[in-house]
Structure 1
Amino acid sequence: MTQEDIRDTKARETSRADTVLKLERQLCFALYSASSLFTRLYRPLLEPLGLTYPQYLVMLVLWERSPLTVSEIGAALGLDSATLTPLLKRLEAAGYVTRRRDTADERRVLVEPTERGTALKENARDVQKELLCSLPLPAAELTALHETLGRLNRGMRGAGETES
């Protein structure tokens, strides 16, 4: 093998290694970018409801089951109480949720939608319909993507728990 052949081989290896580091090839960036775009798409749809995207997620959890403790909401959304507390205070100030101490254990704060917060649920159905209509994939692909991301999230949560 000549010196030129060795240089060519090294150049090809470097080029392949550099390809792995391209931003467009990063799954994490594709997920991050899609998440940012989703949040942007939701903004004008949630604005008439007086909700931000994170507040909308909290309301979704509370519409499914309530009352919930702050830690239960955090577990469902993957958020810590330091992030949730100001968010919940804003929802309470808007009249969408109530927070109260659990009489059985005063360390726990229970959160539930108010009547006004429950009424938002009907309008939230329209938000979902409008958002789905604006997505560039057919329903079957969106369903498959949702299932794949669910498996990915569950697997990553499981991997994180075993490392602790």
Structure 2
Amino acid sequence: MAKPIILDEQLCFSIYQAHKVYNRFYAKALAPFKLTYSQYIVLLALWQYGTLSVKALGERVGLDSGTLTPLLKRLEKDGWVLRQRSKQDERKLDVQLTAHGKKMQDTIDERVGTCMQWIGMSQDQYNSIRDAVSEVKDHLAEIPDGKFDKLPTPAEQ
């Protein structure tokens, strides 16, 4: 008989709960800018890396084109980014910050940075947890899909 799985002992449940709380946290922190968390991480990538193709941006922030395209259209409509065909390769669509998008970085960084202080962790604690969660993500990403084929299914029980 399998060992019972207890909800409150599951790392996945702790990460899920933290994800929900973080979403509420960022919704409040970003509300004055009318930005969602997904829009914010796109802006973070563009502030850090400059102009990126839609494909490269999606890979950087972990969003597929079905999610990224409407998000970018909204950011463009609101004056944060500009989407245009690459001069080097017409098949590629590049995304770059507008003057407004560049100008707002310091204001957003200051607001979000101030909010992050409320977590009440030292920088070392914060970095340690971030690194541990990243390590879990990396380990999960390395599990081949075929591994699941070897697990018991309802028909085998």
TM over 0.5: yes
Name the CA shift for 1:127/1:156 in 2 (closer, same or farther; >3 Å).
farther
Question: How far apart, in 2, do the equivalents of 1:116 and 1:52 lie?
Answer: 17
Q: Which amino acid aligns with 1:62?
A: L
Instruction: State the secondary structure of the residue aligned to 1:111.
Output: strand
Question: How far 1:152 sits from its partner (Å)?
Answer: 2.5
Q: Which amino acid aligns with 1:154?
A: D
Structure 1 segments (4+ residues) deviating >6 Å: none
Q: Please tell me whether residue 120 in structure 1 is matched to residue 93 in structure 2.
A: no
Give ranges in structure 2 of 5+ residues lacking alignment: 147-157
Aligned ranges 1:15-94 → 2 under 5 Å = 17-18=3-4, 21-94=5-78
Q: Please tell me whether residue 149 in structure 1 is matched to residue 133 in structure 2.
A: yes
Question: How far apart, in 2, do the equivalents of 1:34 and 1:136 lie?
Answer: 15
Question: How far apart, in 1, do the equivalents of 2:124 and 2:89 lie?
Answer: 46
Number of aligned positions between the proteins: 146
Task: Provide the alpha-carbon RMSD of the alignment.
Answer: 1.9
Q: Percent identity?
A: 32
Q: Which amino acid aligns with 2:16?
A: Y
Q: Which amino acid aligns with 2:140?
A: M
Question: How far 1:163 sits from its partner (Å)?
Answer: 5.3
Tell me which residue corresponds to 1:10: none
Moved more, 132-141 or 30-39: 132-141
Question: How far 1:68 sits from its partner (Å)?
Answer: 0.3
Give ranges in structure 1 of 5+ residues lacking alignment: 1-12
Q: TM-score, normalised by structure 1?
A: 0.81
CA deviation digits over 1:105-135, x for unaligned, max 9?
2221000100000111011221332222221
Equivalent position to 1:97, from 81, 86, 96: 81
CA deviation digits over 1:33-85, x for unaligned, max 9?
10111111111211112211110000000001121011111111111001100
Question: How far apart, in 2, do the equivalents of 1:96 and 1:28 lie?
Answer: 34
Task: Name the larger-Rg structure.
Answer: 1
Whether the aligned pair in 2 keeps the contact of 1:49 and 1:120 (CA below 8 Å) is no
Q: Which amino acid aligns with 1:72?
A: A
Instruction: State the secondary structure of the residue aligned to 1:110.
Output: strand
Q: Which amino acid aligns with 1:73?
A: L
Q: Which amino acid aligns with 2:15?
A: L
- Higher normalized helix content (fraction of residues): 1
Question: How far apart, in 1, do the equivalents of 2:31 and 2:125 lie?
Answer: 28
